[in-house]
Each structure stands twice: as structure tokens, then as C-alpha cells.
Amino acid sequence: MSKPEELRLRILVHLEQHSRADSGTYVNDTDLATATGASVEEVRRQLDILEAQGLTREANSMGQHSAIISPAGSLAIEGVMDTVPAKRKIGF
């Protein structure tokens, strides 16, 4: 898996976890950058790709980008979510 693909997966996992904890709210690009260890600019690029794939929905306002996972995104990472605690132990 390439670095951009890994980042997109980390973004989706974070959005899914956020959705489970606080359904219906968007996560801003700064929070996603902090959670994934990527730059805000890289998070924005990956969010654009994820939205084009139908895996997220974005809301952009006042220079800030926010996203929420789509139902298709939740389905796409369904199997991954079962292994998230194990992946955290290895630094994913």
C-alpha cells in the first residue's frame, strides 16, 4: 500500500470512529491532520480523492475543509475497523 493510500485509510478510520462517537458531525482538516500525523494540505488532497471516490462528503467554508464518512466509506472499511486496536499497537 502506498503512503497516500495509507493516509486515506487512516482518514477513513478516524472519520468512522468519529461517526460512531458523534454521528452526523463533520471533522475539520486540522483535526484530521493532527490525528493522522499528516499536513493539512496533504489531508485536503486526500479528502478530495476520497470524495471523488464517494467515500466521504466534504463541506468547505472560510478556508477550512471538513469531512464526514459516507455510507459507502463505512462499508469500504468495515473489515478494517475490527482490527483497529491491533493496528494502533503497531503504529498504524
Fold of 3-81: Arc Repressor Mutant, subunit A (1.10.10)
Q: Given pLDDT bands bounded at 50, 70 and 90, which one contains residue 22?
A: confident
Structure-block grid coordinates of residue 48: 478530495
Q: Provide the pLDDT for residue 48.
A: 95
Half-sphere exposure of 13 (CA within 13 A, CB side): 18
The pTM of the full predicted model, rounded to 2 decimals, is: 0.83
Residue-wise pLDDT for 56-67, tens only, equals: 999 888 778 899
